[in-house]
Structure 1
């Protein structure tokens, strides 16, 4: 059964074009069955929930104040700071140019639903790109007043071929940035109890969002879990990160080399990220992950993989979570695999998304994940 979530226009009256690679509409990763399966019905309900919640957020966003983030027009934000994370990535902190009390509800609705993004505009070329806000955690440097003022933070890599990312990295503090949203990228249904999130590079930002949204549902009776596998090319992005589970086997090549059709030997395997000295300063994203782990002990695990050290995500790393299903567990407690990162990473892990009739769809499940016995796991490509 094909299903979709709210699709927001990628063009405005000024002719803005989108260079974003994130999905606008989604389809099931399997072919449509003659009758809806329980998994299909589950995803369908998620879509309906997203549509209703998205409509509610839109209505509330139509405040007389021009500072309220909304899906139809671009709202001006100011660049408060740009903090380098590595040689190629930075943490951007923005606040609305004009104060609006409406932003609180707009943000909260989006956080509650699942994974969401906003579109940044590059005004000279009239193109846009979607970026994922980072959630507020114990490691966040934002004050209560800054949160109330509607501050948002973004982990953005400077792509040498990316017009929008290069534009953002060229801006001075205090510059205006226009953005539109929120756009719901993936609904996390209420009955979800476990997420396996496979992240490549800046795909860790949606992973943080998914963890924040899922774990905020924790009660005495409900303790959902999320397992994050984060693959990075640069050590600076994940310095200080220590893997939580047993050392994984090293596959014969990385997703990057596999996508390009070349191979990379893993005969020599330097110490993994877990061996990084704790005396070193942890990267910003690692601090965010550790803050979530401290807030929700026993409910989140993180494993780090680093191209620089020939440590890559392999099939055994995925199967150890998928095969850990408790036979006594309630079958109504759903399990979800999310994949986020560069196009090549997503294709290598789960197969490429496809375009049909002007929409970007999930496409058939392929790649490494298809080789696993998924049982009751659903798969979603971000």
Structure 2
């Protein structure tokens, strides 16, 4: 079996554009991947199309060989654009390989460690009850203390609360925010500080809060996670399977984390292929914690899938079909073409640039 063509599709979801990658073969088996990236969708699309030159004519089941080729033979390595392109193509190769051998991807990864995948959604205190009615057992929200207090009061002790700080604070500001939220028994406090210098997590880790720290959505490949894990600065890492290097690299990052007893809660705010890829990875790693799921992406998440991934009672069921278990309706993808998304801007009171 040989790869004959790589195609890309950009579909406007609800909050974002989704970038899907389709890899076709001479035996009629195709695979889907996702490389969605806010604000630079078309840049990643071009990177995928350029990187396809490494794959045409190759055996798609040589996943590791092709991953190494894409990562190392472009000479210039790293960064979110190139790693997102690799990630989408890698997912598609796993999809093809699962179909070729007639098994779900998680079986290729060693088999399922669990029977279903726990999901969390997003919202404020007003959405806690609706989410609980849908079966969700956890929610991620912003760092406003009053919002968190109300969410805990409504959700009760058994409802998991997570706070996303979005890397917007200095270490001192993050310290104060975490202390303000200590009494609400958070599952984790995400991205306390900007991702550029992970060493600033050291004093926060040394503070030994009751609240576990999490980071990683803007770290790429195992090399990006190395210092965070070796120094044991966080309790939970959040690799994004669309940016960190795909399923292949996600599995390696999870194995690194396991040696430090760090759990994995993948970042997953994108479309249906990202979610499917995450479900397979999460099924096969022992140190999985919980998976992000944007339920508000409906109806287009479901409409884009020929047979949608089954989500029931706040959990994703493990697919039984070969590969990723999800196929996309290309007519639906084309019916929702790319739309530019305004850049997010945030400024301090004096007009200077602040982190978003």
Normalised-by-shorter TM-score class: under 0.3
TM-score (norm 2): 0.28
The structure in which a higher percent of residues are strand is 1
Query: Relative contact order, CA 8 A, sep 6+: which one is greater?
Result: 2
